[in-house]
Amino acid sequence: MFIGYVLSSEIVRAVSDTPYGPYRFLEKVIPNSDPKAWDGRMAHNPSIHKCGDTYLLYYIGSSFSGPLRPDSPDCCQAQRDESYANIRIGLATSRSLDGPWKAMDRPILEPRPDKWDSQIVTNPAPCIRDDGRVVLFYRSNTPDGLRIGVAAADTFEGPYYRLSDEPVLRFENGDFVEDPFVWWEKDHYEMLAKDMLGGITGEVHAGAHFRSDDAIHWTPMEPPKAYSRTITFENGETTQLGCLERAQLLFDQQGRPICLFAAAADGPGGFNRALNTWNIAIPLR
């Protein structure tokens, strides 16, 4: 049995007999709640890892003031802007993937005033070390583009502190990445991230592959391109997806990656221009 946690405004749990689906809905894990709570009206971007006998569900949450309004661009833009500005990173824990999950009362990572990451902290990418330490990568926005930061904690409960005061993965030619996924590979870190401009991999929004010894200084792997938005389905049909992002790996009990999960969309690119969006599972050779 495989448990899936779905990207949505509420984090839900689904189940399948294989990692590739089809999945069927089971329950809401982190639903919308009290709008006064920091995550009362949005829980999104789940990433689940295990530390000892505890499962860790990292996610982003937010809320906004006022009553819920009809979903139209004219009446909701102010609430959308408020919700986006309030995005923080949270953590829920459980001894079982079946739950129950207990979310921490406060965010584990927040923006820092007057720093490069003063706007938002989003898209958590935790790497859980064998000794229980957590290295947590995240994204923030700057006038020069999206940037990746790194924090750490001695235990998953925190407190989380910045491992580097400045962003990591800075490129001289102006390239930048987002949606990191990081894991420890025997004696070094490895990362997948979305190549926003295409200068790293040669394809806009393809997956770039990096390595690091210290989680701060990163170099591209050879080749630097880990995956493409052009995929082949089981029926032999090949297509270029409009979106393939938030990539995360599923590892087997021997620590080998066996499946890449991502948020997908058809269309020319951009979820707001897609006819269909879904979570995709791509088996690895």
Summarize pLDDT for 51-70 with one digit per residue, the tens: 999 999 999 999 988 877 66
**pLDDT (tens digit per residue) in 105-148:** 999 999 999 999 999 999 999 999 999 999 999 999 999 999 99
Sequence-distant (≥ 6) Cβ neighbours of residue 49 within 8 angstroms: 55, 56, 58, 126, 128
Q: Which residue, 142, 134, 139, is CA-closest to 160?
A: 134
Q: What is the pLDDT of residues 246-280, one digit of tens each?
A: 999 999 989 999 999 999 999 999 888 999 999 99
Residue 16 has what DSSP assignment? E
Q: What is the pLDDT of residue 32?
A: 84
Walk me through the domains of the chain, giving residue ranges and CATH numbers.
37-166 (2.115.10.20), 168-285 (no CATH)
Torsion of CA 61, 206, 115, 48, to 10 degrees: 40
Half-sphere exposure of 128 (CA within 13 A, CB side): 17
Q: Residue 202: how many CB atoms within 10 A of its CB?
A: 12
